[in-house]
């Protein structure tokens, strides 16, 4: 599975408008719900419940909020970049600017884990993170992801 298969250009928000953690989660969930069959309220509740267990801020200015939701038929992914660093309770204590929201049905647990791993692998390189943060368009963002997946 490639991230570019899950993340077409119309699923990338540049820039995000929200200025706090709660707002970013809602903005990303609404953005995903507009592009899938899922119920935004149910997805947001699932994402917030998961976030309450342990922050999905993985460090290096990246967060990968994720959850499983009954109203979602297939694995869905959206991404966004914030102009300003957002406090996110990340494991390294640093604020976050680069976000990937992953939501899937219970039945897709294996794919869900593979996608989380794929995202983490792609963004672990500083050069890739910097390029994604500087991407001027969604199309440029996708090209960076595609090059990093090679």
Catalytic residues: 66
Q: Is the peptide bond before 97 cis (omega within 30 degrees of 0)?
A: no
Confirm if 98 and 62 have CB atoms less than 8 A apart.
yes
Counting Cβ atoms within 10 Å, is residue 92 exposed (0-12), middle (13-18) or buried (19+)?
Answer: exposed
Confirm if 63 and 98 have CB atoms less than 8 A apart.
yes
């Amino acid at each position: 599975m490639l991230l570019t298969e899950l993340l077409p250009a119309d699923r990338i928000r540049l820039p995000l408008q929200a200025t706090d953690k709660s707002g970013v989660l809602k903005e990303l969930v609404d953005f995903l719900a507009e592009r899938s069959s899922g119920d935004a309220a149910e997805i947001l509740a699932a994402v917030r419940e998961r976030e309450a267990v342990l922050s999905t801020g993985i460090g290096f200015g990246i967060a990968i909020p994720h959850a499983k939701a009954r109203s979602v038929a297939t694995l869905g992914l959206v991404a966004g970049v914030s102009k300003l660093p957002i406090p996110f309770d990340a494991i390294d204590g640093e604020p976050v600017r680069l976000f990937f929201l992953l939501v899937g049905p219970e039945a897709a647990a294996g794919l869900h884990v593979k996608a989380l791993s794929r995202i983490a692998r792609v963004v672990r390189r500083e050069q890739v993170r910097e390029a994604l943060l500087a991407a001027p368009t969604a199309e440029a963002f996708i090209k960076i992801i595609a090059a990093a997946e090679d």
